Structure 1
């Protein structure tokens, strides 16, 4: 702003006063920043009157500084000014000293401030005398030191500002010192709701506390020059809660737009620092609330966050599995490592009960050693092998560092499931660049979607140690017989058995299985034992919870990729806290939907199954017997007989020897024929015989000579090859103990020839199986939400190539199938591209006709078996929902009594936490209201056959010990306090009609595959 004063004589004098500004956050310099937040350096032009006023202000400031100096400092200042030393005689002081000459009161001289303090005071004094002087201060500290000092200063004041926040937020009266007269001060503030740039702050405490008591948080702990309103920070928290990808930079640009100022990076830094401290304050308040509720014990959240899993009741029907736990890894939440091997400057550690400590995870490192995919020996070239376009060789695989194994390396032998999983993981490892420090997360959750624990995957892929650590934590904390769902659970189970926790895991009765959707890509031999549809007690649970979680949490990737370790973990924890709240609110809805789905399956599938049984003259006992026979067959199914492989090796060597011998005989005959004709021509030339020109065209002596030499070279090569093959055949005969060489008419030779044809058929079938499974994986990735455009384009191109390769593989399969005795029926492309085709691979692979007389191999019987399993799982889901509905109902009732007792106790004692606990209960009541709406809706279903009354908790009471006497009190007062949370006129139908579109989108793929399988 420019002002000017013009003298009456028409002349004017102007001077521009420039005041420099610093970063508003104060994080770099430690003093708290700028005199102004908006616009950087400020200047104004003064006239004569303005200059006079400026001189008076400078004199007042000079006197203030001089009065604050000690005696020695005043003498030093006088020496600099070349003035006499000031008179320090004080008659009052002399009188006081004379009255104490009796020695009763002895004074101890307090040392003056050091030379550094005096120098700083003199520097400020000179700056006031010469306001136009320019001075630059060079901070010699490193960035890490400045951040550490900044954090240490915040730790000192955090307890006080947390108390002040409770006083401001919930209206708790603050104690005041009657001897201190409050003063007011104008302070630079930022408030998106009022767009004010200054606020009047009443001063009676430290500046940072006074700001908090007025609803503002300073951007520096000691001497802030800018404060941001709590309402603004809360708005940012809510935006980030409901839109995880919303960044600090985006919010800062929004504020700059509202304030009509250009965006600058140090604005973002100031808001980011303040937001960090705001979250720390909220976490401290929540910790106090949880302590008041008696929920501050170790692992309380993991044990009790999901009442459907944890709130066991007296007299309830025991479940098959105490809990169903899912786990998986995800590489979206990576964090880029500092370039050049530099260490991060932000050394803060984010501690939260979501994350497993790194040292705990690393304690299971190297229990499983890395094992590469073995190269299979090729007995003979397969003419029907189709090399897929763009296929990469095994040489391109990048093994994990440190020699640590993946989840499949603990098994004795690699099965087909492990081989396929390794192949898919190898493609990820090729893209796991070394620029990342944390390369993703490995997480676990209950079947209802509430997070249990998270572990950072550090500079590695999905190693075995993460799954072992997660299983060890679950087994130790949750105890009981648990079912763990993992996409490679069939192989990881044996890894667990061979780990350090194997004995404890066996003793608990827990087990592993595969997820429903991932399970369809496993071999049918694996599905018979490990697929959820085949496991008694699983109900309709698909165990694909982690896929839904990661599909949503991928939104965090854009804001965590370049964050510090502290902020990355903070944002992840902030996201999953809100995720758990949403899943808790949706417990009733999930159980309601599962119950209706089970009723629908029973209603629709049972009549169809009964009609099919009647048409096939079967009973349900027959179907169960068929299932047992099928499981036994695939359990005992083994690979090729080693004796057959030896016969194949010998017969193929004989074939090669015979083919090479025949070719040598033919080549030698042609060579000798050409040599004989050349000799006849030479004899005729000597006798003077003239040959006529050939009618077929001109001849060339050079070309004839070249052809003859080629035949000679080929003949020598074949002769050497026959010698080598003869030696190989002889060696095989000696090793196998064969006295007489087999002939093509011998029975063993004929049988081996048939087996070679069968083996070619098996290889073509295996090739087709691998391609279909890869297509299934890619279709799954293609349908995941938040998959980037480049990734979708890459997958789409791969799918196009994969479909062409599948068509070629089908053609090769039909060729080899026709060569069998008897020939197999050809495959159609439409059938091969269907997911049901995966379970038929093992049936098609039966070339010994061991299944020829098995009724359960026919398509009609197999369809009845699938229907029977689906109906059985639906009946199990009915029982599971009955049990979990009652648990949720009981939990909501007990929690209401808990809050009633705690709130009454806090209110009676006028505790500062009363407002915070009441606020927490109001929001918790909204979640409980939504769940109970669906619980009551389930009770009202005509087909409902469970208990509609809450039960009694089997275990310790939710109430703290000192409040258990209040448990029988009425809850009406709490209802009155929270009545405004949900309107009385809001019906259950309105809540039931609030569909979650995001949940529908994430579950559509699973439902589609389940329908296909039926």
Structure 2
């Protein structure tokens, strides 16, 4: 190497020719700059005689390097990037953050040009130039052909990256790329990810390596993952352009209008009681691990999505609710439960969702139960994660409205408040919002800055149907969907269905960067929305069938009313009486508190006196006796070591216990005297007194109610855990945790059953005991729905009788079913109208883009093709719905306020008929609906034929 440095060098041209001859350097074309080019006048002593010298030196270097090349199988020809070469390279001293930032900046400069190049490649009609300015040969990865290289034509003024995308390849770097991946390969990976969210880049890279007959290496996965990021961003930019062409790019358009059954109102329809029914809830599956202590985040890129609420918006509500209620250690588990004490972690601010009620009264049982159930999620484990999950808002048909990241915390109030604020601000009308703790969180909202807007809209909260059974019964009669007028058969558990699917994505997000996590979440939920939109018609059809079956049981209600000699008015009155009773029911009358305290003090004093008498008797029985008589003498203390025998040790223990009891009796006596003096009790109550016996009976009743409530909560938690154990693809650690928790819960249930049976036996009359084996096999909780108040004897009230309660339940179910039929009639016409108007929009936009020769025409057409397929499926179920014998809605499309009339209606002069909404005058060619026959096969056949 010293000879090379000291020898006179060749000219730049000769140097390049030598490299091209020896190393097979590829000609990158005229667009590549000649970095060694210099002016001939400033040659500075470079001589051509050195060409031969440097040529031999370079050959020696290349020959020495070739011996490290890994022997490859003869079955394939591979790019050099995929085999190992031991060589000396210049160390890149930039940090990971600097490299990623530099790469991102270079990509952002070229991204608009790459989007245009992609559109030209996939949808352009102009053939490539027959005689390009230059060409470049680059190594490629293509799962379809397994080729190792490709020759790319480069047009004048076009960069290599643009030329690659135009030719169907995406480079792994924006500048001077050495490897490109085919767009078809990246599209295959994207499609797999759409339907298998847990399919990682590593798995796909191993598939490529298998096809190319090479061993897997981590660097391969990095290249493919980086290219896939850019490919996804290109598709996002194209999607934005498509939405702009369809006039659907206004802020929050997707959340406001993506579900036609919820938002696409039709003139003349019967308005619903609630303009929108949504569910909100949090889930901690989509976590992302934080960086290790002392390490900086490498990938600082950000991805903006109309699904994800900005952190700044959510943090506006961070201090709205103070975390003033300490998290209690739940009393639902045994002492061997490994539950940590509540500790504050970074980001865990904003208070609990149940902490917003500005009242000094005791927390509601629902809030307390929710805190206990969430105890496992309040551990310091959140410090290991940056994003600890997501909080979502979803409409009743399953389409996602918004998503918020939960940052290093559990389910805090700020996430629910931010979502409630967004829903109230962006969606007009009266809303029904389902939340697991909707009963307590409604009070939180009413004591926040959202109160005025929330009350003005007339919105309210409820609890989901299944989760509602874990709430106290006085909550269920007000907040359970079965008891709320206007919600139909909606169970408000749609968020759980979303989480059941999104749990598959957790494998990808745990170790991803923030940018890639948001990219994956955006891709997943967009595909979720597409699938849910395509199933709206099926959902409406199934809901109508379910409601019809329930209404068909009305004859059973008539028979029950007749046998019970009741009327519908009686049932309504019973429901109102029950709701008012539990709304005003208090856990304990304040007047009884002082009486209970006095009787408990008397009982404690009597117990201590009895134990003192027994201990004193046994202590005196150990006095020394001679001939049967006690002989009291004083013995001098022994010197030296003392040996205590068993009798003497027991005597000393009795003496110590007797002194303790003397002190306790004195303390309790003083307390009883103080109470009697304060309350003016002249004669101390005795166990035979009436007030004493009444208070003791009430104490037994209270103990029974508490035992019953504890048993109820334990059984409900067990059911929830059994449900989680059945979730598909649960990890080993998750299954192990649930199994251990279930074992502890069963031990706690056994203790709770024993406590309940003891309390039941103490009642007068005694209550039936429960069997542990029966309790552990409960699959539903009807046995616990009504906690009868034995303090106020309500057992004689008609609505407490089992047969009357079953009749009330059936009557309420039938009313909800009739509301559901009304909702299906309205929503089916909305969907039908939306499909008709959307087809008009598609044809208008596609015609305009085609006439303009806009290359975006192909992208819009592909979007319309997928949307039309979903519309065809929805129309098939709508036609089946119209054909049902009990259907009472209008089997045709109506008119949406502000919708443009169809060209067919304008030509026929029937715009007035379309305005009336009585007939489907704005029919689209090939999508006609015969109002008289509603033949499903004919309508779908014609529509699909038109799509082809």
With normalisation by structure 2, the TM-score equals 0.84
Which residue among 330, 341, 345 is the counterpart of 1:396?
A: 341
Paired residue secondary structure (1:340): coil
The structure-2 alpha-carbon separation of the partners of 1:487 and 1:635, relative to structure 1 and needing over 3 Å to count, comes to same
Q: Displacement of 1:488 after TM fit? A: 0.9
CA distance in 1, matches of 2:27, 2:297: 47
**What residue in structure 2 maps to residue 656 of structure 1?**
604
Equivalent of 2:721 in 778, 790, 805: 778
User: Which residue pairs with 2:173 in the alignment?
Assistant: 220
1:765 alignment partner, one of 696, 704, 708: 708
Structure 2 equivalent of residue 187 of structure 1: 138
1:219 shift after superposition: 1.3
Helix, strand or coil at the partner of 1:75: coil
Q: Which moved more, 1:123-132 or 1:766-775?
A: 123-132
Tell me what 1:280 maps to. 233
Aligned to 1:738: 681
Q: Is residue 2:558 matched to residue 1:610? A: yes
Deviation at 1:470, TM superposition (A): 0.5
Question: Match for residue 310 of structure 1?
Answer: 263
Aligned to 2:875: 932
The residue matched to 2:392 in structure 1 has which SS? strand
Report the alpha carbon displacement of residue 730 of structure 1 after superposing the two structures with TM.
2.2
Residue in 2 aligned with 1:268?
221
**3-state SS in 2 of match to 1:493:** helix
How far apart, in 1, do the equivalents of 2:312 and 2:782 lie? Answer: 42
The one of 909, 915, 924 equivalent to 2:852 is 909
What is the aligned partner in structure 2 of residue 113 from structure 1?
Answer: none
Q: Is the 8 A contact 1:592 1:937 kept in 2?
A: yes
User: 1:325: how far off?
Assistant: 0.5
Shift of 1:504: 0.5
Residue pair 1:653, 1:728 contacting (<8 A) in 2 also: yes
CA distance in 2, matches of 1:835, 1:795: 18
Distance 1:643 1:973, change over 3 A: closer
Q: 2:569 aligns with which of 600, 605, 621?
A: 621
Whether 1:423 and 2:423 are equivalent positions in the alignment is no
Instruction: State the alpha-carbon separation in 2 of the partners of residues 782 and 851 from structure 1.
Output: 40
Q: Please give the alpha-carbon distance, in whole angstroms, between the structure 2 residues aligned to 1:924 and 1:59.
A: 46
- Could you tell me whether the CA contact under 8 Å between 1:166 and 1:172 is conserved in 2? no
Deviates more, 1:673-682 or 1:505-514: 673-682
Quote how far apart the aligned CAs of 1:449 are: 0.4
State how far apart, in whole Å, the 1-side matches of 2:644 and 2:210 are.
91
Q: How many Å separate the matches in 2 of 1:931 and 1:58?
A: 55
In the superposition, relative to structure 1, how do residues 446 and 990 fare at CA in structure 2: closer, same or farther (>3 Å)? Answer: farther
**Which of 334, 340, 343 pairs up with 2:287?**
334
Deviates more, 1:581-590 or 1:156-165: 156-165
2:487 matched residue in structure 1:
538
Is it true that 1:349 corresponds to 2:307 in the alignment?
A: no
How does 1:527-606 map onto structure 2 within 5 Å? 527-603=476-552, 605-606=553-554
1:69 aligned to 23, 34, 38, which one? 38
Structure 1 residues 758, 376: closer, same or farther in 2, change over 3 A? farther
Q: Which residue of 1 aligns with 2:417?
A: 468
Structure 1 match to 2:97: 144
1:642 aligns with 2:642: no
Q: Of the candidates 809, 818, 821, which is equivalent to residue 761 of structure 2?
A: 818
- Equivalent in 858, 880, 885 of residue 801 of structure 2: 858
Query: Aligned partners of 2:780 and 2:540: how far apart in 1?
Result: 32
Shift of 1:766: 2.6
Deviations 1:823-847 (A, max 9, x none): 3333455775676984555744411
1:658-737 superposed matches below 5 A? 658-672=606-620, 674-675=622-623, 677=625, 705-737=648-680
**CA distance, structure 2, for counterparts of residue 860 and residue 58 of structure 1:** 89
Q: 1:912/1:672 Cα in 2 relative to 1: closer, same or farther (>3 Å)?
A: closer
Equivalent residue in structure 1 for 2:159, among 206, 218, 227: 206
Cα distance in 2, alignment partners of residues 70 and 777 from structure 1: 80
Q: CA deviation at 1:309?
A: 0.5
| 1:171–1:511 Cα change, 3 Å | same
Structure 1: distance between partners of 2:898 and 2:23: 77
Q: CA deviation at 1:353?
A: 0.2
CA displacement, residues 24-49 of structure 1 (integer Å, 9 cap, x when unaligned): xxxxxxxxxxxxxxxxxxxxxxxxxx
Once the 2 structures are TM-superposed, how far is the Cα of residue 790 of structure 1 from its aligned partner?
Answer: 3.7
* Alpha carbons 1:930, 1:991 under 8 Å: kept: no
Tell me, yes or no, if the aligned pair for 1:521 and 1:777 is still in contact at 8 Å: no
Equivalents in 2 of 1:519, 1:854: separation in Å? 25
Say if 1:208 and 1:217, in contact at 8 Å, map to a contact too. Answer: yes
* SS of alignment partner, residue 457 of structure 1: strand
Q: Distance in 1 between matches of 2:923 and 2:607?
A: 94
Mapped partners of 2:577, 2:867: distance in 1 = 51
Q: In structure 1, how many angstroms separate the alpha carbons of the residues matched to 2:109 and 2:836?
A: 41
Q: Residue 920 of structure 1 corresponds to which residue in structure 2?
A: 863
- Alignment check: 8 A CA contact 2:20 2:26 kept: no
- Greater alpha carbon shift after TM alignment, 843-852 vs 618-627: 843-852
Tell me which of 633, 636, 652 is aligned to 2:581.
633
- Where do 1:363-402 residues align within 5 Å? 363-372=316-325, 388=334, 390-391=336-337, 396-398=341-343, 402=348
Separation in 2 of the partners of 1:839 and 1:56? Answer: 81
Shift of 1:782: 2.6
Q: Distance in 2 between matches of 1:633 and 1:505?
A: 27
Partner of 1:252: 205
| Per-residue Cα deviation, 1:134-187 (whole angstroms, up to 9, x for no partner) | 8632323222111111111111111112111111101232797x9x95333332
* 2:788/2:795 contact within 8 Å kept: no
Question: In the TM superposition, what is the alpha-carbon distance from 1:713 to its structure 2 partner?
Answer: 3.4
Q: CA RMSD in A?
A: 3.9
Shift of 1:733: 2.6
Task: Please say if 1:883 is aligned against 2:826.
Answer: yes
- Consecutive unaligned residues of structure 1, counting only runs of 5 or more, are 1-49, 83-121, 378-384, 687-699, 977-983, 993-1014
CA displacement 1:647-702 (0-9 Å, x = unmatched): 2222222222233333434444454555473698797999xxxxxxxxxxxxx995
C-alpha distance in structure 2 between counterparts of 1:750 and 1:712, whole Å: 35
Q: CA distance change for structure 1 residues 403 and 568 in 2, over 3 Å: closer, same or farther? A: closer
User: What does the per-residue CA deviation read over 1:52-72, in whole Å, with 9 as the maximum and x for residues that have no partner?
Assistant: 9649999999xx979931256
CA contact (8 A) 1:328 1:486 kept: yes
Q: Call closer, same or farther: CA 1:906–1:416 in 2, change over 3 Å.
A: same
Partner residue of 1:457? Answer: 406
Aligned partner of residue 443 in structure 1, secondary structure: strand
* 1: CA distance, partners of 2:123 / 2:394: 35
Is 1:478 aligned to residue 427 of structure 2? Answer: yes
**CA 1:834–1:869: 2 relative to 1, 3 Å:** farther
CA gap 1:808/1:175 in 2 versus in 1, 3 angstroms: closer
Aligned length in residues: 869
Q: Which has the larger radius of gyration?
A: 1
Find the partner of 1:502 among 429, 443, 451.
Answer: 451
**Residue 777 of structure 1, CA deviation:** 2.3
- Secondary structure of the corresponding residue to residue 897 of structure 2: coil
TM-aligned CA distance change 1:400 to 1:368, over 3 Å: farther
Residue aligning to 1:44: none
- The answer to whether the Cα contact below 8 Å between 1:397 and 1:427 also exists between their aligned partners in 2 is no
Deviation by residue 1:613-639 (Cα, 9 ceiling, x = unmatched): 111111111111111111111111111
The corresponding residue for 1:20 is none
For residues 976-1001 of structure 1, the C-alpha deviation after alignment (integer angstroms, 9 at most, x for no partner) is 9xxxxxxx999969999xxxxxxxxx
Match of 2:465 in 1: 516
